[in-house]
Amino acid sequence: MKIVLVANRGEIAVRIIRAVQDLGMTATAIYAQDDAASLHVQKADQCVALEGSGAKAYLDAPTIAALARQQGCDAVHPGYGFLSENAAFAEAVEAQGLVFIGPTPATLAVFGDKAAAKQLAGKSDVPVLAGSIAAVSLDEARAFMQTDGIEAIVVKATAGGGGRGMRVVNRLEDLEDAYTRASSEALAAFGIGDVYVEQLVAQARHIEVQIIGDGSGAVSHIWERECSTQRRHQKLIEIAPAPELDPALRDALCAAAVRLGEAVNYKGLGTIEFLLDAQSSQFYFMEANARLQVEHTVTEEVTGIDLVQAQIRVAAGASLKDVHLDQANVPEPLGYAVQLRVNMETMSSDGTVKPAGGRLSKFEVPTGPGLRTDTCGYAGYVTNPNYDSLLAKVIVSSKQDFAATVRRAQRALAEFHVDGVATNVDFLQALLASDVFQNATLTTGYVDAHMAELVAQDLTPEDASGSAGV
């Protein structure tokens, strides 16, 4: 493997390009017509223009696979989002005689269907929540919600993720509207409007386990991450390892994730996600993300493993032993790491979030020990509303305790200076300062329930007057 096409954009494309180059390979970037000024285009060794503009250009699977072949590439790395979990794209890449740096098309097909993944989890002795195994009609969803012992449910899209096509229903009279909205949103986002239902865990933590496999049946876990700091099912802050997690429970979660990976002879990086009942400490399978995760960074910082390089080497044919990631060689986490997602946005106390944009007249990221920033921003860059609002990921690590890591995170955000574009940096500071975050007692519903008070802390006089920036 000598030349890798990176089928993505933004900060994750930059991250992958650097890993490819560090392995002594050539990184080829693609870019839409309205995305030529993106940072990943500047960092790649060579670039290819796509037809069209916006996200649609990055979703043209047959064209991108053919371009990779035409450019003499040996492999394609899809990053996350876009085509990363698209089984048809993986097949198109392989049909061109190239390596898809990710799971097999068969694995993508199974894990891309949440209902099918849930069924596989049950067969693999991984606990699952009460709910449907396949897509349900409105009448079937209504019947499930009326089952004894079910007080509230979640309606979820069978395809996709990221909180889209998901609705919490606490009252039967709200079900029809939630079902319709979830189905419509799923159809628009993923092209499939099917939804399924499951029991709601009222006080839940979101814990995910990083796995890697080499396709031979060998699968290792690389510990867990805490992803409970969410707004409307969208992650805001991630932590590795999960603080205040009982060691026996950690072992059980990791073992369950490995079992599920082994069930499909998993190849590449993946994440098995669980809901943990904060009251009973019982955990349940939620979904599997068969790709590189946005928050892979915190696992890298506490283990010293370059996950993207390992992912590429396994795709090129290396075994887990070759990359020193057979389970016996996976290092235990040292200290803590926290990732803060800096988004270009404005928000109000009712939870309304609007994307923001403009020219980055100033862009200064924090530096120093234990600080890392993965970003697509630079001074002078004009942001594009046709793409995701994620501007940067500020990753903070400390070999000390969780409290020391949080203090470093607060300092890092205070040193992150952006002019020209509104961001959520002050909102993230308000979250870090909250008692529940300081004490590591967050649950997935905390941010939505306390949005008004968090935004009130966020609204400085400059923000209130409409000034963009931090």
Return the closest-CA partner of residue 80 out of 271, 292, 225: 292
3-state secondary structure of 197: strand
DSSP calls for 250-303 = HHHHHHHHHHHHHHTT-EEEEEEEEEEETTT--EEEEEEE-S--TTHHHHHHHH
Reading the block at residue 119, the tokens are: 């069924």
d(CA 425, CA 25): 36
Contact 189, 165 (CB under 8 A): yes
The angle subtended at Cα 458 by Cα 453 and Cα 460, nearest 5°, is: 125
d(CA 183, CA 194): 6
Say whether 225 is catalytic.
Answer: no
Q: Count other C-beta atoms under 10 Å from residue 168's C-beta.
A: 16
d(CA 282, CA 309): 34
Contact 78, 291 (CB under 8 A): yes
Reading the block at residue 417, the tokens are: 């200076």
Reading the block at residue 430, the tokens are: 């308000």
Integer angstrom CA distances of residue 344 from 1, 200, 356, 376: 37, 31, 5, 12
Contact 298, 238 (CB under 8 A): yes
d(CA 16, CA 166): 30
The catalytic position among 291, 341, 372, 408 is 291
Residues forming the active site: 291
